[in-house]
Structure 1
């Protein structure tokens, strides 16, 4: 079943009004007809509105809500991924997979060892592109929300932003053994929000790790092997998803 996201005010009681680019997609690409069923989410409350198409007008499609699925697919905790800017188009892949694994928000961070350097104009352009990728991934994976991709932050800004999370961790090759990692992961509970910091290809600098620890962010190990930046983030998110999934 096809899924579409709408603004909250487009759901009006038992009626849903679809506008914008999705109108053309439904009418001319998918060639859907009246009475066919679609899934709609407002990207905020995590609910799935199962709807039947009633009218296909010129610039809008009118749907009727048939039932609402309250227990959506969202995890019981918010996961914030702070990702050091990687090379090439790896960020697009990371965003796509992170959304599939249930991340709530993705924050690109410019750190000392990042090869990629974005000026203000390029950063804004990238942010728009990355948000579209997050939306597409949310549709594909039937998410109830569209995870937000923030504008690129400095490491200091990222540390401050992470204060919203109850548990904060930073994988680091010199961290203590796996027992400490198991302890941190084991402390996760539904309703406790999590922040995960992942370095770029060169990892975090010693100064950045020290700043993170001073701010209360816990260093953890992901094992004896060195993981690529795109592997490390997905490893942590997979473990957290498995632990929190109900």
Structure 2
């Protein structure tokens, strides 16, 4: 059953406009009586029936509310040093499927991609749309928030709001470190927040790692193999899911 995140709800009625209206009426060709899942801004999901279709609005009535919660028990924010091409789009799509709570692109020393304000805003809109579509596909009850590109200094300020802070550092893996991330997961409780930073192609510089460690970040190896910048976030999110959801 199709799922949509809907901003306009009045009691037991949802109202859909814009791109989702077009998708329902033109792409899916739905009619009055068809059913979909609607999720309101508070993360409440309901099975709904189409009751009216106008030239601009689809109106739906709640058939039954859905109580199931599919979100990770901890909030994980993925920070990615701006990579080349469409890699960040892939990170956001797959990261959303795996349960990430937020995404923060970061302009680090080895980031080749440089975005001015106009391009950054356009990219942010696209990234947010990708997160929404992936959240609908994976039956999330929230859409992860995607920040615009942040500097390292801005990121350090944001990091003050998190319970745990980690940075993926391939030199830790090369030196055989394998327990730091495990120890972080063991120390976390349901409801805690984790900020995890990944460098762009070429990784973070030693200077950046030192700065992060001075601000309380824990350097973590992610196993004996060196992962690509677009693969490492999926590894971490999978590990979090395994620890908190499959090991119960």
TM over 0.5: yes
CA–CA distance in structure 1, aligned partners of residues 58 and 199 of structure 2: 44
Cα distance, 1:88 vs structure 2 = 1.1
Contact 1:46 1:73 in 2 (8 A): no
CA–CA distance in structure 1, aligned partners of residues 21 and 228 of structure 2: 40
Of the three residues 138, 153, 156, the one matched with 2:135 is 138
Deviations along 1:42-91, one digit per CA (max 9) or x if unpaired, are: 2x322211111111122111111111112321122211111100111111
Cα distance, 1:180 vs structure 2 = 2.5
The corresponding residue for 2:15 is 17
Tell me whether 140-149 or 169-178 shows the greater mean CA deviation.
169-178
Equivalent runs, 1:51-200 vs 2, <5 Å? 51-175=48-172, 177-200=177-200
Moved runs in structure 1, 4+ residues, more than 4 A? Answer: none
Tell me whether 44-53 or 105-114 shows the greater mean CA deviation.
44-53
Cα distance, 1:93 vs structure 2 = 0.7
Cα distance, 1:123 vs structure 2 = 1.4
CA–CA distance in structure 2, aligned partners of residues 143 and 76 of structure 1: 13
Q: Secondary structure at the match of 1:50?
A: strand
TM-score for the superposition, normalised by structure 1: 0.94
Q: Secondary structure at the match of 2:171?
A: coil
Cα distance, 1:174 vs structure 2 = 2.7
Contact 1:83 1:109 in 2 (8 A): yes
CA–CA distance in structure 2, aligned partners of residues 74 and 46 of structure 1: 10
Cα distance, 1:154 vs structure 2 = 0.5
Q: Secondary structure at the match of 2:126?
A: helix
Cα distance, 1:199 vs structure 2 = 0.5
Structure 2: 5+ residue stretches without partners: none
Cα distance, 1:14 vs structure 2 = 1.3
CA–CA distance in structure 1, aligned partners of residues 202 and 162 of structure 2: 26
Q: Secondary structure at the match of 2:183?
A: helix
Structure 1: 5+ residue stretches without partners: none
CA–CA distance in structure 2, aligned partners of residues 132 and 23 of structure 1: 15
Q: Secondary structure at the match of 2:225?
A: coil
TM-score for the superposition, normalised by structure 2: 0.93
Tell me whether 15-24 or 104-113 shows the greater mean CA deviation.
15-24
Q: Secondary structure at the match of 1:106?
A: strand
1:244 equivalent in alignment to 2:241: no
Cα distance, 1:96 vs structure 2 = 0.5
The corresponding residue for 1:215 is 215
Contact 1:41 1:47 in 2 (8 A): yes
